Amino acid sequence: MLRDQIAQGVDPVIERRDARARLIRGQQSKLKLYELTLEYHRQKVVPLRSDKDAKHFLRSFEMYVFPALGEQDIEQISTDDVFSVFEPIWAKVPRVAGDTLKRLERVIAYGFVKHAIGDRNNPAEWKNNLELLLPSTVEMMRKKNGAVESHQPSLPCAQLPQFMADLRRREGNGARALEFAILTGARNTEVRQATWSEIDFAAGTWTIPADRMKASRQHVVMLSRQALGLLASLDRLSEWIFTNESRGRHFSDMVFITLIKKMDESLGGGVYVDPKMGGRRVTQHGFRSTLLTWCAEEGIASREVAKMAIAHNVRDQLEAAYNRSELLGKRRALMQNWADFIDKPGGCILSHISQNNVIATRGVASAKVIQPWPSHL
């Protein structure tokens, strides 16, 4: 037996170890997808997401995943099983289906690592797996809605310096979070749940982990001097950068909608609106469109570089170039030019950083002096 194994190129020691591992796994109680999802939800969702987000996460599994797969052993779920769950709803509710699939992929990946389950591919993985069986959700939404995405009302570029000057006069971490979101072009959740550990002041970067990104890929944001100055002016009240002072944790997803509404109504209403969308009040997400429009109009950078800078629909063919040093430099230059445009004379009354690297807090008299930022930022 031993000689036969050696002759066949089998290492007897490794074979005994693997056989023992298989025996132990067979003796262990099977881990059901339902149990694993609850564990992931408890460990990775509840501590980092709002109550609303956490409930929505579980609700999507209860509606679409648990009826078919909830009682299945996590190690036995196949790609065919996952496909059979999502294929019927893919055309009906493409956005919800796509979001739920991403959640399922993360839950199973967590189980494979945390519980050392098998040595196999994730059956819910999209890339080089389900993407070969299902059309992209973008294509399905185009077919269903006649558009690639539902655009959010955005502010005309010419009004942005005025808006930022108004915003910077307002107190509170909610206002600072919105300011940071506009400076970085980041999405709602990416900003609200940002933590101090994600910021590298020396490198001038903000690294957003994959589980908080829409495309489930880690994204590095190049921070302008203004964005770094804003961060340096904040007190560290918790692990979250923008802590809700009354709750002791990050803000809910309504913080930006509420703030922009108050700002607009304080001016009589109808000021911070998108004239191309029937005068609808602008949203935080719409400032991403403002950035892309400004970049195109000013010729600051190519559309591809601009989209990579804010992680907007970066397609696979661009991924290989994503971290090339020359593109990192272009992305950094773009974000600095954007911040400088926001601060342009005549638009911005109060800036966090002056030419002498003095950070203005909510009044000129209470300025706080910091060390100059490295020249490479």
**Domains of the chain (ranges plus CATH)?**
31-145 (1.10.150.130), 157-369 (1.10.443.10)
Mean per-residue pLDDT, 235-249 = 89
pLDDT at residue number 14:
62
Q: Longest C-alpha distance within the chain, in Å? A: 88
Q: Is the pLDDT of residue 32 over 80?
A: yes
Tokens of 347: 């638009």
Across the range 248-267, mean pLDDT stands at 91
Tell me the per-residue pLDDT of 307-364, one tens digit each, with 9 for 90 and over.
Answer: 888 887 655 444 444 455 557 888 899 999 999 999 885 433 333 333 333 333 333 2
Q: What are phi and psi of 68, to 5 degrees?
A: -100, -35
Element (H, E) at 251: none
Task: Give the model's pLDDT for residue 53.
Answer: 84
The number of C-alpha atoms within 13 Å of 167 and in the hemisphere containing its C-beta is 31
Supply 369's token pair: 């002096």
200, β-bridge pairs: 205
The pTM of the full predicted model, rounded to 2 decimals, is 0.57
